[in-house]
Every structure is written in C-alpha cells, then in structure tokens.
Amino acid sequence: MIGIGFVYAVAGVVFAVFAASSLVERRWANGAFHALIALSFLAGDRLGDVGNGVLVLALVTIAASGRMRRSAPPPPSVERGARVFVPALVIPAAALVGTLAFKQMPTLVDPKQATLVALAMGTMLALALGLVLLKARPAQAFAAGRGLIDDIGWAAIMPQMLASLGAVFALAGVGEVVGGLMGRAIPGGSVAGAVIAYAVGMALFTMVMGNAFAAFPVMAAAIGVPLLIHGAGADPAMVAALGMLAGFCGTLMTPMAANFNLVPAALLDLKDRYGVIRAQVPTALPLLAFNMLLLYVMIA
C-alpha cells in the first residue's frame, strides 16, 4: 500500500540532491542543512526520539550560525510563453483528481494519506512534463529548486517545528491550563463567549507561535472540545475548520510566520521589512470577525 512513506521518500531524495550539489560547490553549511533534512525524511522513523531530537538541534545550530549562503542566481531563462504555467497547473489538478480517485482504492493507497500521495505524484508528473515542454535538463530543475530553498533558508522548516511545538504543548497540558483560565472568564453556558475566546485565542496563539497548526492542539483542548463540541454540541469538523481559519488570520499578522511574511519581503527587496504584514491586516481582521459570526450562527 502506498502511504506517507512514499511522500517522505520523494522529499528525502530531493533534499539529498540539494545537499550533494551544495557540497560540490563547497557550501558546507547549506549542504549539511539539506543533508539533515534528507536524513529525517528517509530514516527519521529509525532514528528514534532521541536521534530526531539531536537532528533538530543540529538543524537549529546550523541555521543560527549564519553560515548558510544563497546560491548564485541562475542565468536568465529563454522566453517559453504560456507553456511555463502548464506544469504549475498540473500539480493542483493532479492533487484533486488523485485525492478523489485514491479514496476509492483503499487497497492501493492509504485513504488517510490520499491527498499527500496525490500531491507528490502530481509534483513528479509536473516535473516530467516541464522537462518535456521546456526542453530542460533534470539538473536545471533541481538547481532552480535548490536556489529557492536557499533563498528561503531556515524558514523552510519553521512550520514543521512550530507544529511539533504545538504537539509538545498539548502533551504538557498547556491546553488544560488555558482552558481553566478561560473558563473563569467566559460566562457559564455562553456560546458567544466561547466562540469569541476560541477564535481570538486561535489568532493570538498563532501570532505568538507563528503557525496555526501549533496553536490548534492548545485551543482545541482548552475551548474547542470541552465548550463548543461537548458543551454546545457543535460539529467537530466545523469547529476544527473554522478554528484553523481563525488561526490563519493570525498568520497574516505576525512576523513569527517568517516563511509567509518575512521571506517574501526579503525576496522582493521591500524597503519595509513588515510591509507584507501591514498589507494583510485590513483583510485579516474582518475575516476573523466573519469567522466568529459564522461559527456562532452554525452553533446557535
């Protein structure tokens, strides 16, 4: 059965190629960083908890050393016309079609991982199609991909690390502590109060932690499950979806979400480092208010 292991293998091979090419160019820090990521994808389940913890600390050490260097920009590409958009459009199309199809093939593809498997296969299909349409060599594709990762730098793995932090917080009982504090502030049986606390809490925790996936375990344990799902009888899928969307509103307003808000500013050479955030706040706040209203209407 094809599952998450296939996705990890594809990602691991890509980062292994990035590592090898960086080492050939004597960019040692970049090569070591990419090699560790490749190792985590290819053999993370064999390293154990301690091994993976050491690997993460090594990644943080390399990122904090300031020795990672951006690669030389590739030479200007020949004008290819609208064909350059075809591979990019193939990826979401393959992910959608594959997800629907694979869920009907439980013996072939793990239904829980159907979307990720379809996304990985769509990316491989887009790569092959791009090589044919643009008459490019595989080395060019990997060089361009490595250049993008080098530009993003350590922020490329920030979402995974912050999501892991959220899991650690959940296991440490932070959600129960927050729930106890919020429970004293919310009037007994108040659905509106619980909705506001849940949505605003998701946004604020996301702003602090930089990732809604890190905030969700905490706020779900504190308010989402006990007050909205068990207390008010809300649909769990609806609470989870709108809660994550409220968290994404916080993502739009925080520099902690470096890969979304700081990296684009750096790549575009914006004079205002926080220009992306300032442009997104007028959208984030009304969207957060709408999420609260929608969640309340669907529960009440």
pLDDT at 111: 86
CA 191 and chain centroid, separation: 31
Phi and psi (nearest 5°) for 97?
A: -65, -45
Q: 76: helix, coil or strand?
A: coil
Per-residue pLDDT of the chain (300 residues; tens, 9 = 90+): 888 899 999 999 999 999 999 999 888 899 999 999 999 999 988 888 889 889 988 988 988 887 887 766 666 555 666 777 888 889 999 999 988 898 888 888 888 888 899 999 999 999 998 888 888 888 888 888 888 888 777 777 777 777 677 677 777 777 677 767 776 777 777 888 889 999 999 999 889 877 788 788 888 888 888 889 988 888 999 999 999 999 999 999 998 887 788 777 777 778 888 888 999 999 999 999 999 999 999 887
pLDDT at 78: 58
The Cα-based distances of 140 to 29, 112, 143, 144 in angstroms read: 22, 34, 5, 6
Residues 3 and 40: their CA atoms lie apart, in Å, by 17
Contacts of 133 (CB under 8 A, 6+ apart): 80, 83, 86, 87
Contacts of 61-68 spanning 24+ positions with Cβ under 8 A: 62/29, 62/32, 62/33, 62/36, 63/33, 63/153, 63/154, 65/29, 67/28, 67/29, 68/29, 68/30, 68/33, 68/150, 68/153, 68/154
Amino acid in the structure at residue 114: A
Amino acid in the structure at residue 7: V
> Could you tell me the residue ranges of all domains in the chain?
4-153, 173-299
pLDDT at 19: 93
